[in-house]
C-alpha cells in the first residue's frame, strides 16, 4: 500500500491511500483544485480516485468532498451521523454516491474498518485500511484515546496520529477560554503528552512508523512535540529510529509517499 498525507491541520485535511487496485481519499478538506494539485505532486490524477471516506462533518475534513465526488463520479462513504449534519455542505449527489458506513467494508482489495472516536461531531470515526497483510491507521481529531481506538490501531504498520497541542502553550495562548476548554476536553484534540503516551504503547506493540498529524499552528511546534515524545520513549527504554520511526505532517505541503509492504 501507499500513503501520502496531502494536508493536515485546522485549515484542511486529506490523506491519499492506494493499493495496486484502488485509490481513495480519507477526508477532503481542501478545495478540489488544491487536492488535484497536491495529488499531481505524487503523479496521481484526481480522476483515478475510487472513493472518499469522511471521518466527520467539520469543514476542514469535507470542504472539497462534494465537488470531487461530482467531478470524478465517485462515492462518498460516511457514517449516518456525518451524513445527517454534513449532507447540505456536500451539495447535490446521486443516491449511489451516498454510502453509509456502519461496519467494515471493502473497496477492491482495500479492507476498510471504521472505529468510533471521541470528538465534538455527530458520529465521528477513524479508519484502518488493510491489504496484503499490511495495515494503516488514521487516528486524529479525538479528545481521548479509548480502549476501542487502542484495540483497532495497536497492530498497524503505520499510524497517522494526532499530536495537536502542547498543553502549556495552549493554556497561555491566544484562544478564548471557551475554545481552550473545547480543545483540552474529552471531545477535543490530543495533546503531545497524550500522543507520546500512546506512541510508547505502539512502539512496544512493534508498530514501525508514526506520522504526527493535526499540529496546531498556534499551540504547538514540531520540535516540542518531538521532544515530548522522545523523552517519554526514553523513559520507557525506547528510542526513535531504533524502536519506531517518527515523521511529521504539514498543513502547507504534502508528506512523502510512504510504501507499506
Q: Name the E strands within 82-140.
A: 98-101, 105-107, 110-116, 125-131, 134-139
125-131/134-139 β-pairing: antiparallel
The reported pLDDT for the residue numbered 174 is 93
For residues 243 and 131, give the distance between their C-alpha atoms in angstroms, rounded to a whole number.
24
For residues 241 and 227, give the distance between their C-alpha atoms in angstroms, rounded to a whole number.
14
The reported pLDDT for the residue numbered 159 is 98
The reported pLDDT for the residue numbered 261 is 84
Size of the chain, expressed as the number of residues it contains: 261
Q: Which residue has the cell 469535507?
A: 62
Residues facing 258 on adjacent strands: 3
List all residues 6 or more positions away from 42 whose beta carbon is below 8 Å from its beta carbon: 4, 16, 254, 257
The reported pLDDT for the residue numbered 24 is 98
Helix H or strand E encompassing 52 = strand 51-53
The reported pLDDT for the residue numbered 206 is 80
Could you name the CATH architecture of 2-259? Answer: 4-Layer Sandwich (3.60)
Phi, psi of 7 (to 5 degrees): -165, 145
Q: If you ran DSSP here, which 8-state letter would residue 29 be given? A: -
Helix H or strand E encompassing 152 = helix 147-153
The reported pLDDT for the residue numbered 207 is 85
The reported pLDDT for the residue numbered 2 is 98
Query: Which parts of the chain have pLDDT scores under 70?
Result: none
The reported pLDDT for the residue numbered 70 is 98
**Domain parsing of the chain, residue ranges:** 2-259
Q: Which residue has the cell 470524478?
A: 72
Helix H or strand E encompassing 14 = strand 14-18
For residues 247 and 240, give the distance between their C-alpha atoms in angstroms, rounded to a whole number.
10
Q: Which three cell numbers stand for residue 123?
A: 458520529
Q: If you ran DSSP here, which 8-state letter would residue 246 be given? A: E
List all residues 6 or more positions away from 57 whose beta carbon is below 8 Å from its beta carbon: 78, 81, 82, 85, 86, 89, 121, 122
Amino acid at each position: 500500500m501507499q500513503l501520502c498525507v496531502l494536508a493536515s491541520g485546522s485549515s484542511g485535511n486529506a490523506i491519499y491511500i492506494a493499493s495496486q487496485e484502488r485509490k481513495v481519499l480519507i477526508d477532503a478538506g481542501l478545495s478540489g483544485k488544491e487536492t488535484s494539485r497536491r495529488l499531481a505532486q505524487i503523479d496521481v490524477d484526481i480522476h483515478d480516485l475510487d472513493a472518499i471516506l469522511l471521518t466527520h462533518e467539520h469543514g476542514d475534513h469535507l470542504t472539497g468532498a462534494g465537488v470531487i465526488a461530482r467531478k470524478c463520479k465517485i462515492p462518498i462513504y460516511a457514517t449516518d451521523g456525518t451524513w445527517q449534519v454534513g449532507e447540505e455542505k456536500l451539495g447535490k449527489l446521486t443516491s449511489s454516491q451516498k454510502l453509509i458506513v456502519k461496519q467494515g467494508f471493502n473497496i477492491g482489495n482495500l479492507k476498510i474498518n471504521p472505529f468510533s472516536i471521541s470528538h465534538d461531531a455527530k458520529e465521528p470515526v477513524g479508519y484502518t485500511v488493510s491489504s496484503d497483510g499490511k495495515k494503516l491507521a488514521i487516528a486524529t481529531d479525538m479528545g481521548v484515546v479509548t480502549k476501542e481506538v487502542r484495540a483497532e490501531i495497536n497492530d498497524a504498520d503505520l499510524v497517522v496520529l494526532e499530536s495537536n497541542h502542547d498543553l502549556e502553550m495552549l493554556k497561555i495562548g491566544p484562544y478564548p477560554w471557551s475554545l481552550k476548554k473545547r480543545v483540552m476536553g474529552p471531545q477535543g484534540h490530543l495533546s503531545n503528552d497524550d500522543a507520546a503516551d500512546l506512541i510508547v504503547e505502539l512502539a512496544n506493540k512493534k508498530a514501525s512508523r508514526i506520522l504526527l498529524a493535526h499540529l496546531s499552528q498556534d499551540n504547538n511546534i514540531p520540535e516540542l512535540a518531538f521532544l515530548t515524545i522522545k523523552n517519554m520513549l526514553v523513559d520507557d527504554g525506547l528510542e526513535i529510529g531504533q524502536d519506531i520511526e517518527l515523521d511529521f505532517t504539514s498543513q502547507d505541503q504534502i508528506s512523502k509517499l510512504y510504501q507499506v509492504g
